[in-house]
Amino acid sequence: MKSRKRTNWVAMILIALGTVFILFPLYMAVTIALKNQNDMLNSIFGLPTNLRFENFAKAIEMTNFFQALGNSAIVTISTVVLTILSNSLVAYAVARNMGKSKFFKGLYFYFISAMFIPFPIIMLPIVKLTASFGMTNLFGLIILHTVYGLAFNVFIYVGYIRSIPIDLEEAATVDGTGTFGTFARIIFPLMAPINATVGILICLSTYNDFLLPLVIISDQSQYTLPLVQYVFQGQFNTEFNLAFASYLLAMLPMVVIYLFAQKWIINGVTQGAVK
Amino acid sequence: MAKRKAAFYWMTIPALLLFFVFHTFPALQGVFYSFTNWNGFAKTYEFVGFKNYYYLFQDDNVGNAYWFTFKFAIVVTIVINVLSLLIAMGLNASIKARNFFRGVYFLPNILSVLIVGYIFNYLFSNVFTVWGENLGWDWLSTNLLGSQTMAWIGVVFVAVWQGIALNTILYLSGLQTIPTQLYEASGLDGANKWQEFWKITFPLIAPFFTINMVLAMKNALMVFDLIVALTNGGPGRATQSISHLIYTGGFEGGEFAYQSANSVIYFIVIAVISIVQIRYLQRRETDM
């Protein structure tokens, strides 16, 4: 498709200059995390003369990094898996019946209208509710993320499922396969592209979420990575090098995933928004 | 057939119940408490009718939070969309290493808003001030976030830095749907670049413009993490957003019922803006 045109150098130079704007704060974060306070006094901007990896060791110890990483990983992975399995199933039932059943049509609008409800209206009562159910922990976070995801996910799943021809399922039904079986064996495998989109969006939003853990989680051993940064912000005090080492550690897992799966992530996020 | 129908109900009813219990029910509770005087921890409370709503409209802190949030959201939405479209057009031009640049511009979108806020918090207090002094710019030589009048611009700056990532990628995917032949034809007709943009590019990416305006606006109206990390609403209450006010007042200020009323108003405002925006922008799409 693309014709071999000459490189547009003006655009190229402007785009390259723009990346400085994006990368500068990250450059600062990395270099500060690798300096100590004396290095900082000599030069804030320069590259570190000695790489102070001990900042990372100290930050790991101070914030109990691996515990928080484990918590974030449990919440993120469980939410992604549970969301893909459950929300797609709900959307399947809705998509295949909303044309002929008022109940399912109503259900569709019930879920998607929740997209307009801002979280703060739920935030105050949900704290009482999760406390009374004993859900002020990682399990509660996983359930809430999965349930709240329905609003948006049903919307994009239904759009996708309606584009899958119904003939396939009718053939399976004639063969005597049950509805759940038809979904598991025929529909779910066909949903791989949209599952990837949903999975990526949920992974990003759950891993980086701050507000829900902030209001739900009370026990420090259950803190997720963003919450740990918040709680330790005061304790880092003027030890900016430690603070930055801690920030980088918290961002690292997602950045590593991004380096390897950049194309999928960009496509997934684009598909999710355009749908 | 009946069995098949039963299966479809089994697929949805558990989700429906969970959604009702954890989403709709607390939302209704919020509306319910907004008519009481509950502080969030006392054993008893009384109904006070519309008193909370009445006081909301006279509360300077509330007015201030709405003013900041709207000012912030409008400026952020406009700046993000202009910059994103320019960057997307640059990325769509015939440049080398396009995928690399695309990857860099999208990077901020995968980072935690809170941590990005903390990084910039440091840059504002210790790095940008050095530039301000060297350049002799008074407004930058002290911490911008500490200034009553300028702090909101600092928050806008960080929101833009992070927000352009998503919108750029969306505009880029819109631009890539435009067939190059259209530009060749307009080139033959003697259209200049400016006409080309307004007559061809912009109308064809109108759906993407709608999505980007709605997304950017919605994210900005909900701003919370960034406020916590950058200013905590300060100095004074200069950068307190609506959700930050609901959070601090509701959990820390003993204003559970009062902030519930505030969140009901907030919900109405968000719903009205979203609907108006979508209606208006979709009509424009079809007009063009």
Q: HSE, CB side, 13 Å, CA atoms: give it for residue A266.
A: 22
pLDDT of residue A3: 47
Positions of chain A with pLDDT lower than 70, given as ranges: 1-5, 275
Distance from the Cα of B75 to chain A's closest Cα (Å) equals 19
pLDDT of residue A1: 40
Using the beta-carbon criterion (under 8 Å), do B104 and A19 form an inter-chain contact? yes
- Write the residue in A122, A178, A247 that is nearest to B7 by C-beta: A178
Positions of chain B with pLDDT lower than 70, given as ranges: 1, 284-288
What predicted TM-score, i.e. pTM, was given to this entire model? 0.89
- Write the residue in A22, A25, A94 that is nearest to B12 by C-beta: A94
pLDDT of residue B285: 66
> For chain A, first and last CA: distance in Å?
24
pLDDT of residue A219: 87
pLDDT of residue B288: 52
Q: For A246-265, how does the pLDDT look when each residue is reduced to its tens digit (9 = 90+)?
A: 999 999 999 998 988 888 88
Q: For A202-239, how does the pLDDT look when each residue is reduced to its tens digit (9 = 90+)?
A: 999 999 999 999 999 988 899 999 999 998 887 877 78
Using the beta-carbon criterion (under 8 Å), do B247 and A120 form an inter-chain contact? yes
Q: Which residue of A has its CA nearest to B221?
A: A118
Q: Which tokens go with A160? A: 């996708």
Using the beta-carbon criterion (under 8 Å), do A7 and B119 form an inter-chain contact? no
**Identity at B57, one-letter amino acid code:** F
* A44 close to B (CB below 8 A): yes
pLDDT of residue B105: 93
Supply the DSSP string of A20-46, one letter for each residue: HHHHHHHHHHHHHHT--HHHHHH-SSS
Phi, psi dihedrals of residue B47, rounded to the nearest 5°:
-80, 135
Indicate the length of chain A as a whole number: 275
- Write the residue in B30, B114, B271 that is nearest to A124 by C-beta: B30
Q: Which tokens go with B103? A: 């990857």
Task: Dump strand ranges (E) for A101-142.
Answer: none
Look-up of token digits 């504002």: B124
pLDDT of residue A2: 46
Mutate to test the interface with A, among B11, B86, B213 (most CBs of A within 10 A): B11
* CB A130 within 8 Å of CB A216: yes
ipTM of the assembly?
A: 0.89
